[in-house]
Structure 1
Amino acid sequence: MKMKLRAAAVVSASALLLAGCSGTGDGGDSGGGTGGLVGTGTGASCVIESPVKIGAALSLTGGAGSYGASQQQGLELALEELNAADGIEYKLSIEDDASEPRQGISVMETFAGDGTSIVLGPTLSNTAVAAMPIANEASMPVMGISTTAGGITDIGEFVFRDSLTEAQVIPQTIDAVIDEYDLKKVVVMYSNDDAFTESGYEVMAETLEGTNVEVLDTLTFSKADTDFRSLLTAAKDKNPDAIVVSALIEAAIPLVTQARELGIEQPIVGGNGFNNPKLMADAGDAAEGVVVGAAWNSASDNAENQAFLTAYEAKFGAQPDQFAAQAYAALYLIDSAVRSDCSAERADLRESIGSLKDVATPLGAVSINADRDAEHPAVVQIVKDGKFAVLR
């Protein structure tokens, strides 16, 4: 409810600005263009004369900077590949939302008024809650590529995402951990000042309520905290079978490191915020055995994923993470939608994205459901030998 109220406030505050930048034009479309974005043919034979403008609001700086950097690389690779094909030229504009809702609003207002066909991002759910209503009010499609909090697509009919929600991933993760480690009792920890981590906690709590696992205690902290020793000591004193945590990577790294320093050997189960190679790079051996639910795993042997891995390493000299994979997949989903109707007009894109079914991507076969959320297989991972491996 709080998310919806904040979103409504943003819409009200932005209404006057949007009235001047989202007019329908002479042709009656809402895409910021006047016909040049409707082409001929379909699929691989689709030809659109005008460049198709795509925006991306990414957290290149601030608390989520590591996620945004991965997303930028995923998008750059996909753009290079798609522009090598015939018929459509994509122009990608990437702007930094600085991991802050206010900056995200400013970026989205710019895209809403400059003829951009669709926007990817923002990176964080709390920034998306503030900024996505502007896109929806401008009748400009927007696709979340890492926003997993509940209620995102409830913002409006122009809001989509290719990132699986916490509600799609966490229950599967907890069920797998219960079976794997025969859990009877846990301590839950979460950052209570961030929409993404709060949403993750809510799903964790609801899932655990439906099991026979006892929650011994629930401990909260700030997303800016870096010293968790007192909380971890309190958790250790409860002697849980595991610690379940919803946190961003900046908190996850010191939390995991300090837990092992304090002699906590029980499994640590993380939410989607743990899905970052920085966990292993910065926490080192302390990350071993951490379990994380994910929308993607590099071990997947589908052809699109193997091609993505090879191309990414060739271009950037490193292996991608989930955030790069989701960003890369999103641009291919957009291309599939554009080519299906051979139109990049905003209203047409809303219809064609909503109709996507079983599009082959590194994430697996992706479909967009009636709630404008992505559906594709999830995976439960465990850190083993410094890498994410499939637990089941």
Structure 2
Amino acid sequence: MRGLMKKLVGFTALSSVLFLTACGGGGNEESSGTEGGEVSADVGVVSFLTGSGAAYGEAIQGGLKLAQEEINAKGDVKINLIFEDSAGKQDQALTAAQKLINSDNVTAIIGPTLSTEMNVVGPEADLSGVPIIGTSTTAEGIPQIGDYVFRNSIPEALAIPASMQQAIDKYDVKKVAILYGNDDVFTKSGYDTMKKTAEEMGLEVLTTETFQKGQSDYNAQLTKIKNLNPDLILASALYNEGAVIMDQARKMGIDVPFVGGNGFNSPEVINIAGESSNGLIVATPWYSEKEDEKVQEFVTKFEEEHGHVPDQFAAQAYDALYILADALKNAGSSDRDAVRDALAKTKDFEGILGNFSFDEEGDVLMDPTVLVIEGEKFVEFK
């Protein structure tokens, strides 16, 4: 028993669905369940498909569709994906999620893309008893939202310290400057981790500068940073703003390395900033050059379909659907509670990201890889 509140919510939602069905409306035509030993389920996806961060959503969609094709071909589980666009906006993400939650055929939800969105969608899914898996939500506190909230993306609290430590060891860093977007939960969370880690490592923080989404001129912040001469710049930004920051920094003569958060880890940074992106250090569970048969099969298939190598957002989405399919198979049912319980038991799942388990809170247990951009390409940082 998950608690009286969830039961009451479930009863109310069921009553509404029954009423609508009696009136001739509501739900999808196909029902989810077990047919001849095969578990069939509708899985909703809330993703950033249009707008400034569409590259995230496109990568996630590509990874999910490839996994869906492979999973359905194997025959144990049949998954139907239902995509809803959030455009990176909290209100749109919530509306999309509510539409999926209120469909009695939707077993689980993947997404939304941003931690900002998950902060409003997660509580709604949890209260309604719908399992939800974030594939790119790395801010602090996401799985702690509730029993039904999971993620398979390495949190900033794990990734940032790993990349900072390697940068500090290699470059003998003593002084840093911090730059972050102060109008987004995700980038603010990255900043909190950077600040905390810098303090724990005994680094001198020369200045902390802020910016907003869509900003195009960083002259004031970068001029101040340049004059303070840091050994390293810590930047918590999404790829659009992050790429522009690096481009303007290099053109101003700032040549020190950058350590970025998860949102900075996208090939779009290279596409936008070109050679100015060189020197960006990030930690990630995904490395497309890894000598692993499953990894290279995924890269080959994805590249054939999309014309480019998959990034971590595609890879995390791909693994997330396989993790969910594994839970559906183990549950033997598309029942939301049964799938939630099966998800919680995920341990030592061997995906393209590596060996993966959920901890007791639905958070990630795995080791990140630290990468750096050199020659306009992500390579292992050594």
**TM exceeding 0.5:** yes
Cα 1:36–1:210 change in 2 (3 A) is: closer
Match of 1:129 among 100, 119, 126: 119
Partner of 1:7: none
Partner of 2:327: 337
1:32-90 Cα deviation digits (max 9, x unpaired): 999962567xxxxx523xx3100100000123211111101111111111111123221
CA drift of 1:22 comes to 4.7
Partner of 1:384: 374
Match of 1:158 among 148, 154, 157: 148
Question: What 5-or-longer segments of structure 1 have no aligned partner?
Answer: 1-11, 27-31, 41-45
Instruction: Work out the CA distance in 2 between the residues paired with 1:135 and 1:22.
Output: 15
Partner of 2:251: 261
Partner of 2:288: 298
Partner of 1:280: 270
Do residues 52 (structure 1) and 48 (structure 2) align? no
Match of 2:317 among 324, 327, 331: 327
Cα 1:338–1:16 change in 2 (3 A) is: closer
CA drift of 1:310 comes to 1.4
Instruction: Work out the CA distance in 2 between the residues paired with 1:22 and 1:227.
Output: 51
Partner of 1:118: 108
Do residues 144 (structure 1) and 140 (structure 2) align? no
Instruction: Work out the CA distance in 2 between the residues paired with 1:216 and 1:74.
Output: 40
Instruction: Work out the CA distance in 2 between the residues paired with 1:18 and 1:234.
Output: 54
Do residues 191 (structure 1) and 181 (structure 2) align? yes
Partner of 1:37: 33
Instruction: Work out the CA distance in 1 between the residues paired with 2:375 and 2:178.
Output: 26
CA drift of 1:219 comes to 0.8
Partner of 1:104: 93
Match of 1:371 among 351, 361, 366: 361
Instruction: Work out the CA distance in 1 between the residues paired with 2:92 and 2:17.
Output: 28
Partner of 2:23: none
Contact 1:39 1:342 in 2 (8 A): no
What letter is aligned with 1:379?
T
Cα 1:168–1:101 change in 2 (3 A) is: same
Contact 1:21 1:112 in 2 (8 A): no
Do residues 178 (structure 1) and 174 (structure 2) align? no
1:215-235 Cα deviation digits (max 9, x unpaired): 111111112212111100000
CA drift of 1:268 comes to 1.2
Partner of 1:271: 261
Q: Report how many residues are paired.
A: 367
Cα 1:68–1:25 change in 2 (3 A) is: closer
Instruction: Work out the CA distance in 2 between the residues paired with 1:383 and 1:22.
Output: 51
Secondary structure at 1:187's aligned position in 2? Answer: strand
1:138-169 Cα deviation digits (max 9, x unpaired): 10100000000011112110000011100111
Contact 1:161 1:372 in 2 (8 A): yes
Q: Deviation above 6 Å: which 4+ runs of structure 1?
A: 15-19, 32-35
Do residues 21 (structure 1) and 13 (structure 2) align? yes
What letter is aligned with 1:21?
A
Partner of 1:213: 203
Instruction: Work out the CA distance in 2 between the residues paired with 1:56 and 1:35.
Output: 18
Instruction: Work out the CA distance in 1 between the residues paired with 2:307 and 2:324.
Output: 26
Instruction: Work out the CA distance in 1 between the residues paired with 2:17 and 2:303.
Output: 44
Match of 2:234 among 227, 239, 244: 244
What letter is aligned with 2:186?
F
Secondary structure at 1:339's aligned position in 2? Answer: helix
User: What TM-score do the two structures reach when normalised by structure 1?
Assistant: 0.89
1:186-228 Cα deviation digits (max 9, x unpaired): 1011011100000000011111111132111111111221211
